[in-house]
Amino acid sequence: MFQCCLSVPLSVSTMSPSQKPVVFLDRDGTLNVESGYIRDLNDLQLIDGAADAVRKLNSSGIAAVLITNQTGAARGYYSEDHIRNLNAKLVKLLKDQQAFLDDVYYCPHLPDGTVEQYTQTCDCRKPAPGLVEQAYNEHPELDRTRSFVVGDKATDVELASNCGAKSILVETGYGKQVQAGEYQWKVTPDYQTDSIVEAVEWILNSLKSS
């Protein structure tokens, strides 16, 4: 059984009775500036335009769900509470600009970690689809047939493949290094673009044409 964790309690947005499209969003390098393992909450800063992009999803009736690997606790860098606090900071920064996430999920595990509690092979670490499946189980209004994954890593693109979603690789964070063969491995996303701003425009256009 995999262990996956909700990082912060979130208010549930008003849902339509019909199913709604969903975008599964990576965190570091996608929504906030890639800064390595963030030990100081003040170092978590939104990427330019990220809040506007999330707000567009909100106003279009598209669910925005965070799915993130966070191995800082498994590596002994900080506590799991710190991971939750970082996610809460992200939620606050978005809220300050009238944007919100429908839910937040993270995986704290690492197969070769240094902290026994988190050192394990699990089904929730991307590219495994455990957290996405948890989101579908907890939010039956989400439409699997209209789903997207946005992230800056090869693992995000593979997550999309593993859960039947369309993949968007953004070049903020590690996106360019991935495609240059300098980080993880090269991938073939459904779409590649500069940032979440253009990614959301592509998603909106894709949904209009479907």
User: Could you read off the pLDDT of 178-194 as tens digits, one per residue?
Assistant: 999 999 999 999 999 99
Which CATH number is 160's domain given? 3.40.50.1000
pLDDT tier for residue 1 given thresholds of 50, 70 and 90: very low
Name the percent of the chain lying above pLDDT 70.
91
Domain extent for 65? 19-209
Q: Is residue 4 part of a domain?
A: no
Burial class (CB in 10 A: 0-12, 13-18, 19+), 85: middle
Model pLDDT for residues 48-66, shown as the tens digit of each residue: 999 999 999 999 999 999 9
Q: Is residue 14 part of a domain?
A: no
- Of 135, 138, 169, nearest to 66 by C-alpha is 135
Q: Is residue 13 part of a domain?
A: no
Structure token pair of residue 15 = 């849902």
Which positions are annotated as active-site residues?
Answer: 26, 28
pLDDT tier for residue 210 given thresholds of 50, 70 and 90: confident
Q: What is the C-alpha to C-alpha distance for residues 151 and 25, in angstroms, rounded to an integer?
A: 6
Q: What is the pLDDT of residue 10?
A: 52
Q: Is residue 11 part of a domain?
A: no
Model pLDDT for residues 130-170, shown as the tens digit of each residue: 999 999 999 999 999 999 999 999 999 999 999 999 999 99
Instruction: Indicate yes or no: pTM above 0.75.
Output: yes
In total, how many domains does the chain have? 1
Q: What is the C-alpha to C-alpha distance for residues 91 and 179, in angstroms, rounded to an integer?
A: 29
